Structure 1
């Protein structure tokens, strides 16, 4: 990392228009009214305008639970660290209310790491999932969880709440876990979480960033490890440096390379689907990709939704 070197110039395919539009404004207002945070804003996601504007659907927002401060300090992430606060007991109900007001039919929940809590926040995740499902069981819920320090009981608590998709990101290949991630994270620890999910009735999902110095054979090995565990869904996206204080971009990976990795993941390894592209993030249009993947089995969109709901029951 470097605090003085000029950041590498972005290629044309990474240029995004700023967020705008009536739908964007509506979602932002609803979130503020309920005092909620989104990873879209806190992590400076480049897709914020596209997802919130809902150009191809009702709009997507990824709710970030348990505050806007993380107990860890990963070198790729723009979320603030330290100064942990008590959990907001009203947050699960507030999220459920906001989901209803926005009119989402696919909800993504994620969180900061809360190593200061005995269960890492697993019970809070579970309560939020149940609050959403209690209001409308037809809403599909994806939970993108931390590693809970590898505690299987914490993972099981979230599984038991009935999310349709349970995700945990390995972020990068094994060799680069440090310096990319906080030292309290780790490849094997993340694989243990994904294995627990893959053995359940939830769809297991994970995500990798490219452009941090990985070699092709390491990415292939990671896909092999994930496939062996039974992970259903994998996404690839380009790492973008949030500021000069963060990990530098090693390479801007060409879109054709992302297409190749999608073909390898789906064609060679048989993942249920792989979303892969420079601007893809783990929760980017998650519902759209999920339903599309289900529909590949020959079902209509509605039949695909019903099948997913039945699996989550």
Structure 2
């Protein structure tokens, strides 16, 4: 149970937003907005937007800005989506070309209202990106595709297989479990821990695909619970994991129960590597797509 009364308002000295020292912020902003795209950087009020956009990177959020679920930690608005645009994949590809990106992370809101959960838009965007740049690195951060997991998996495998010779057919497929099972009822309404594990297990079995997940800490979980989740992820074949600090986006969201010290994050990183994760990123400001391109260099070559 997450205490609604407790909230630590004074942030410790190790919580610091890096605004970035590079010069690409305006170019990133212009390309995103001129192509009428959404980003999780803006919609979820990510604290790393300044740093990432200044490096010329962004995480594009497909399928609009309205989510069909109401997670207690997330700043993305919830409601009944009316937005669907079959031309969105082409606009994403255009923005990626303008920004000269070699690695791109694609995420989306939950679209439980769509028969395919939005999987078709992911697949079409992947195809256009690879046809435009045969060697671009692509990472998905998808919903759990509640009503159509197997169909989504099969569609993505077909899409990768159908790419022409000489075009990359690998993929990083992420889906975040976010927190420990005990806190799902409040933190992840509409989601189920077991269903998230099923999604990751299916993705891990795809040819050429590495699966990835993430946890946010500070909602009241115990160390033992975190380690159990990491073990569950490894059992499902997940090879990549990130752990970061939960930061309350507004007073309407779940309160922070604890600010985790950097030394504790370092200990979690050691534990995760000992469990066999091939790539681990852990720290207070880490988010699931933070420096995702470094993962490409570290594990894909």
Q: TM-score, normalised by structure 2?
A: 0.91
In the alignment, which residue of structure 2 is the partner of 1:155? Answer: 153
In the alignment, which residue of structure 2 is the partner of 1:76? Answer: 73
In the alignment, which residue of structure 1 is the partner of 2:82? Answer: 85
Q: Aligned partners of 1:289, 1:33: CA distance in 2, in Å?
A: 29
In the alignment, which residue of structure 1 is the partner of 2:198? Answer: 192
Change over 3 Å in CA distance of 1:4–1:262 after alignment to 2:
closer
Q: Which shows bigger deviation, 171-180 or 157-166? A: 157-166
Change over 3 Å in CA distance of 1:173–1:131 after alignment to 2:
same
Q: Spell out structure 1 runs of 4+ moving beyond 3 A.
A: 1-7, 17-22
Q: Aligned partners of 2:178, 2:138: CA distance in 1, in Å?
A: 21
Conserved 8 A contact 1:44-1:242: yes
- Which of 142, 145, 150 matches 1:145? 142
Q: Aligned partners of 2:254, 2:123: CA distance in 1, in Å?
A: 33
Q: TM-score, normalised by structure 1?
A: 0.88
In the alignment, which residue of structure 2 is the partner of 1:33? Answer: 34
Q: Aligned partners of 1:220, 1:237: CA distance in 2, in Å?
A: 14
In the alignment, which residue of structure 1 is the partner of 2:298? Answer: 292
CA RMSD after TM alignment: 1.8
Deviation at 1:40, TM superposition (A): 0.5
Q: Aligned partners of 1:243, 1:224: CA distance in 2, in Å?
A: 32
2:184 equivalent to 1:177: yes
Q: Aligned partners of 1:88, 1:269: CA distance in 2, in Å?
A: 42
Q: Aligned partners of 2:217, 2:6: CA distance in 1, in Å?
A: 21
Q: Aligned partners of 1:2, 1:187: CA distance in 2, in Å?
A: 21
Point out where structure 1 has 5 or more consecutive residues left out of the alignment.
295-303, 305-313
In the alignment, which residue of structure 1 is the partner of 2:167? Answer: none
In the alignment, which residue of structure 2 is the partner of 1:12? Answer: 13
Point out where structure 2 has 5 or more consecutive residues left out of the alignment.
161-169
- Which of 205, 214, 217 matches 1:210? 217
Q: Aligned partners of 1:234, 1:42: CA distance in 2, in Å?
A: 23
In the alignment of these two chains, the number of paired residues is 289
